[in-house]
C-alpha cells in the first residue's frame, strides 16, 4: 500500500479508540490493524497472517471481537474500538484476564497474546448473552448464558492460533476469570 | 491493491443505483472474503459499495410460519437466534461449524452465500485457474486437489463451494431474495449456485448488479428434525472435507419428509435427490438409508487424490440419518 492519497480514494473517519476520539483521513485501502499500529502507534494488536486466519489482530469493535486485518477502516466510521491497550480501562490495573494470563504464564513468545486476550473478552460476553458454539448441546435452552467448560473455551477460542502451543495455560487463565 | 472509491448507500435502491453508476464496482458487507481477495489481487474492484449497514439486519417471523433473515444479519447472530435454533437447527449448527468466532461476528448472511472457493489455485495469481482467469486452465485437476470436488465438476473447474451455511439452507428449502435493476425476485438456494461447466468464473445465477436482500426459511421445514455434521482436518476452524445437512421426519416408522444436502463435494451445495426419492415412503432404518445414500454417491467421479471423500460423505450421511430417525418401537 502507498500512503499517497489519490483523489476520491480517501475519506475522513471518526472513531473512538480506547475511549479517545480520533479523526483521520484514511486511504480506503487502510485496514483497521494498520491504522492502529501505524497511524495511532498502538502496536499491541499484532499482524500474524494478515488474512483472517490466525486471530493475532483481534480487537473489539462496538464490543464484538473481530479480525482487524480484514476490516477496512473507512467502513468503521462512528465505531468504538477497544484494543489490548484499552482492556484495563483508564486505571493502572490490568484487566482481570490479563492478570490471569500473568498468573498462569499463559504464553511463551507472547505474539498471539493481545489477540487471545481481546478474543477471550469478546467470547465471554457472547457466552453470557447465550450464544451457542459448535460444542454446545443443541438441546440447551436458547438465550440462557452458556456454561463454559474446557471444550467450550477451546472451541470458542479456535480462531486464535498459538504457535508456541500455550493453549493449556490459556484455557486455565480463562477458567480463572470465569470462576 | 489498487485504490478504489467508497460509497455507503442508505437504502437498497440507492445501492443498486450506485452499482450501475460505477463500472467495476463490488458490493461489500462483512468483507471477510472480499477484503482478503483484494489483498491477494484476485478481486480488484474500482469502487466498493458498502451494504453492510443497510437496514437488512433483522430476523422477522411471517404469519405463514416462515422467517425472513435480512442479508446483513451476522452469522453469529443468526446461529444464536432462538427461532432458528428451535425450528431449523441444521442452520444454526452449520453456521457454528464454520470459520471462527471473530469471522462469524463479521460475516453476513448474504456474503456467506457469495464467498468464493478457497481453491489454492484460485487464490494464487501465479497459477492457472479458469475461475479467476478464464481460459488459463485448471491447475487443480492434475495438481493438488485433495480438497476438491467429486460431484458435478467439469474439465474447466474442480473447485468446491466453501460455505457450511449454504448446505443447510439447501436442505431446508430456503430461498434467496434478490433485488436488482430488473426488480425483485427469488431463487431457491438449490438453484442459486451454478455447476462450473464451461463458465466456472460464474459462481451463481445472480444477474449483474443484483443484491441479496434476504433469505427466506420456509414453513415447510420449520420444526422438522434437522441436523448438520461436518468432517474437517482439525477439530475446529477449517473448511469441510465433506459435510451433510439432513431434514428428516418419520411417521409410523416410514419416511414422511426428507432432504439431504452435501457440502465440500461440489461447486454448489449438493442436494441428494436420488437419496431423497428412494427414502420417501420407505421404512426408516439402516438398510434403507444405506441403499439410498449409495444411489447418490454412485454418481461421484473422484479425482486422483480425493476418493476418500465418497466413503466420508456416506458415513456422515448415515450417521445423521440414523440420529434423526426415532428408535423403532420396543427398542
Measured distance CA(B118)–CA(B122) in Å, rounded? 7
- Cell numbers found for residue A107: 504464553
Query: Cα–chain-centroid distance for residue A20?
Result: 18
Measured distance CA(B200)–CA(B45) in Å, rounded? 19
**Are A67 and B5 a contacting pair at CB < 8 A?**
no
- Cell numbers found for residue A104: 498462569
Measured distance CA(A48)–CA(B192) in Å, rounded? 35
- Rg of chain B over Cα atoms, rounded to whole angstroms, equals 20
Confidence of residue A67 (pLDDT cuts 50, 70, 90): very high
Measured distance CA(B241)–CA(B235) in Å, rounded? 12
Average pLDDT over all residues of chain B: 97
Q: What is the pLDDT of residue A5?
A: 66
To which residue does cell 477496512 refer? A72
Average pLDDT of the residues in B263-275: 98
The dihedral of CA B41, B232, A170, A93: what is its sign?
Answer: positive
**Are A133 and B36 a contacting pair at CB < 8 A?**
no
Q: What is the pLDDT of residue B329?
A: 60
Average pLDDT of the residues in A53-60: 98
- Rg of chain A over Cα atoms, rounded to whole angstroms, equals 17
Q: Give the least confident one: A2-16, A65-79, B155-169, B300-314.
A: A2-16
Measured distance CA(B250)–CA(B330) in Å, rounded? 16
Is pLDDT above 80 for B250?
yes
Nearest residue to A60 via CA among A49, A68, A48? A68
Q: In percent, how much of chain A has pLDDT > 90?
A: 90
Give the distance from residue B165's alpha carbon to the nearest chain A alpha carbon, in angstroms.
Answer: 13
**How do residues B165-185 score in pLDDT, each as one tens digit?**
999 999 999 999 999 999 999
Q: What is the pLDDT of residue B174?
A: 99
Q: What is the pLDDT of residue A141?
A: 86
Residues in A lying within 8 Å of B, measured between beta carbons: 1, 6, 8-9, 11, 27-29, 31, 50-52, 55, 58, 64-67, 70-72, 74-75, 119, 122-123, 126, 129-134, 136, 138, 142-143, 154-160
What is the DSSP secondary structure assignment for residue B189, as one 8-state letter? G
What is the DSSP track for B192-225? TBPP-TT-TT--B-PPTT-EEEEEEE-GGGTTS-
Q: In percent, how much of chain B has pLDDT > 70?
A: 99
- Which residues lie below 8 Å from residue A99, measured CB to CB, with a gap of 6+? none
Average pLDDT of the residues in B144-160: 98
Q: Is the ipTM here above 0.85?
A: yes
Residues in B lying within 8 Å of A, measured between beta carbons: 1, 3-6, 8, 28, 31-32, 35-36, 39, 48, 50, 52, 76, 79-82, 85-86, 89, 92-93, 96-97, 99-103, 105-106, 227, 235-237
Query: Cα–chain-centroid distance for residue B279?
Result: 24
Nearest residue to B169 via CA among B238, B235, B261, B80? B261
Give the distance from residue B105's alpha carbon to the nearest chain A alpha carbon, in angstroms.
Answer: 7
Query: Cα–chain-centroid distance for residue B81?
Result: 19
**How many CA atoms within 13 Å lie on the side-chain side of B165?**
27
Burial of B293 (0-12, 13-18, 19+ CB in 10 A): buried
Nearest residue to B131 via CA among B198, B71, B212? B198
**How do residues A29-51 score in pLDDT, each as one tens digit?**
999 999 999 999 999 999 999 99
Q: Which residues of B touch A66 (CB under 8 A)?
A: 102, 105-106
**Are B101 and A123 a contacting pair at CB < 8 A?**
yes
**How do residues B196-238 score in pLDDT, each as one tens digit?**
999 999 999 999 999 999 999 999 999 999 999 999 999 999 9
Residue A11: which H helix or E strand, with range?
Answer: strand A10-17
Is pLDDT above 80 for A114?
yes
Structural domains of chain B, with CATH: 5-50 (3.30.43), 226-324 (3.30.390.50)
Average pLDDT of the residues in B135-143: 98
Is pLDDT above 80 for A27?
yes
Query: Cα–chain-centroid distance for residue B284?
Result: 27
CB B294: neighbour CB atoms within 10 A?
A: 16
Average pLDDT of the residues in B74-90: 97
Average pLDDT over all residues of chain A: 95
Measured distance CA(B1)–CA(A1) in Å, rounded? 7
The answer to whether residues B265 and B278 touch, using CB atoms and an 8 Å cutoff, is no
Measured distance CA(B167)–CA(A32) in Å, rounded? 32
Q: How is the beta sheet containing B5-7 ordered, strand by strand?
A: B5-7, B47-50, B25-28
Measured distance CA(A56)–CA(A46) in Å, rounded? 5
The dihedral of CA B215, B220, B224, B230: what is its sign?
Answer: negative
Is pLDDT above 80 for A63?
yes
Average pLDDT of the residues in B149-170: 98
**Are B101 and A65 a contacting pair at CB < 8 A?**
yes
Q: Which residues of B touch A134 (CB under 8 A)?
A: 93, 96-97, 236
Confidence of residue A7 (pLDDT cuts 50, 70, 90): confident
Q: In percent, how much of chain A has pLDDT > 70?
A: 97
Q: Give the least confident one: B51-55, B131-135, B326-330.
A: B326-330
Is pLDDT above 90 for A4?
no
Structural domains of chain A, with CATH: 10-86 (3.10.20.30), 96-178 (1.10.150.120)
A169-178 burial string, b = 16+ CB within 10 Å, else e?
A: bbbbbbebbe
Is pLDDT above 90 for B326?
no
Give the distance from residue B159's alpha carbon to the nearest chain A alpha carbon, in angstroms.
Answer: 20
**How do residues A69-104 score in pLDDT, each as one tens digit?**
999 999 999 999 999 999 998 878 999 999 999 999
Q: What is the pLDDT of residue A1?
A: 45
Is pLDDT above 90 for A130?
yes
Measured distance CA(B266)–CA(B264) in Å, rounded? 6
Amino acid at each position: 500500500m502507498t500512503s499517497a492519497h489519490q483523489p476520491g480514494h480517501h475519506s475522513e473517519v471518526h472513531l473512538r479508540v480506547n475511549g479517545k476520539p480520533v479523526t483521520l483521513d484514511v486511504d480506503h485501502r487502510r485496514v483497521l490493524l494498520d491504522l492502529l499500529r501505524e497511524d495511532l502507534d498502538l502496536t499491541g494488536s499484532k499482524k500474524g497472517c494478515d488474512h483472517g486466519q490466525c486471530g493475532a489482530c483481534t480487537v473489539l469493535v462496538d464490543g464484538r471481537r473481530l479480525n482487524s486485518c480484514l476490516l477496512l477502516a473507512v467502513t468503521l466510521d462512528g465505531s468504538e474500538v477497544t484494543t489490548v491497550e484499552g482492556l484495563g480501562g483508564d486505571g493502572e490495573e490490568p484487566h482481570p484476564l490479563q492478570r490471569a494470563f500473568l498468573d498462569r504464564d499463559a504464553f511463551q513468545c507472547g505474539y498471539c497474546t493481545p489477540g487471545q486476550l481481546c478474543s477471550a473478552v469478546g467470547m465471554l460476553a457472547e457466552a453470557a448473552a447465550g450464544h451457542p458454539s459448535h460444542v454446545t448441546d443443541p438441546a440447551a435452552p436458547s438465550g440462557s448464558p452458556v456454561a463454559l467448560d474446557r471444550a467450550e473455551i477451546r472451541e470458542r477460542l479456535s480462531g486464535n492460533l498459538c504457535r508456541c502451543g500455550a493453549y493449556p495455560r490459556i484455557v486455565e487463565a480463562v477458567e480463572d476469570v470465569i470462576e | 491493491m489498487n485504490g478504489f472509491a467508497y460509497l455507503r448507500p442508505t437504502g437498497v435502491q440507492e445501492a443498486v443505483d450506485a452499482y450501475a453508476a460505477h463500472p467495476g464496482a463490488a458490493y461489500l458487507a462483512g468483507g471477510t472474503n472480499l477484503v482478503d481477495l483484494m489483498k491477494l489481487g484476485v478481486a480488484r474492484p474500482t469502487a466498493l459499495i458498502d451494504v453492510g449497514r443497510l437496514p437488512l439486519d433483522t430476523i422477522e417471523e411471517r404469519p405463514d410460519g416462515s422467517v425472513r433473515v435480512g442479508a446483513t444479519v451476522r452469522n453469529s447472530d443468526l446461529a444464536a437466534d432462538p427461532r432458528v435454533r428451535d425450528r431449523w437447527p441444521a442452520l444454526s449448527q452449520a453456521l457454528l461449524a464454520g470459520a471462527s468466532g471473530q469471522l462469524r461476528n463479521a460475516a453476513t448472511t448474504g456474503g456467506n452465500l457469495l464467498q468464493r472457493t478457497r481453491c489454492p489455485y484460485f487464490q494464487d495469481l501465479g497459477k492457472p485457474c479458469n475461475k479467476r482467469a478464464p481460459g488459463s486452465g485448471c491447475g487443480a485437476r492434475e495438481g493438488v486437489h485433495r480438497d476438491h470436488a467429486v460431484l458435478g465438476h467439469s474439465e474447466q473447474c474442480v473447485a468446491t463451494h466453501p460455505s457450511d451455511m449454504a448446505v443447510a439452507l439447501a436442505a431446508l428449502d430456503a430461498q434467496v431474495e434478490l433485488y436488482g435493476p430488473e426488480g425483485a425476485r427469488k431463487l431457491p438456494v438449490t438453484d442459486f449456485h451454478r455447476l462450473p461447466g464451461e463458465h466456472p468464473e460464474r459462481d451463481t445465477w445472480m444477474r449483474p448488479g443484483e443484491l441479496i436482500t434476504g433469505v427466506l426459511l420456509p414453513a415447510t421445514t420449520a420444526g422438522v428434525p434437522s441436523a448438520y455434521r461436518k468432517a474437517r482436518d482439525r477439530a475446529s476452524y477449517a473448511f469441510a472435507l465433506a459435510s451433510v445437512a439432513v431434514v428428516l421426519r418419520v411417521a409410523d416408522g416410514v419416511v414422511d419428509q426428507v432432504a439431504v444436502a452435501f457440502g465440500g463435494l461440489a461447486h454448489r451445495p449438493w442436494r441428494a435427490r436420488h437419496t431423497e426419492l428412494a427414502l420417501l415412503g420407505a421404512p426408516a432404518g439402516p438398510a434403507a438409508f444405506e441403499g439410498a445414500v449409495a444411489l447418490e454417491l454412485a454418481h461421484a467421479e473422484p479425482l486422483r487424490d480425493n476418493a476418500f471423500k465418497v466413503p466420508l460423505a456416506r458415513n456422515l450421511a448415515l450417521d445423521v440419518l440414523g440420529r434423526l430417525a426415532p428408535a423403532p418401537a420396543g427398542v
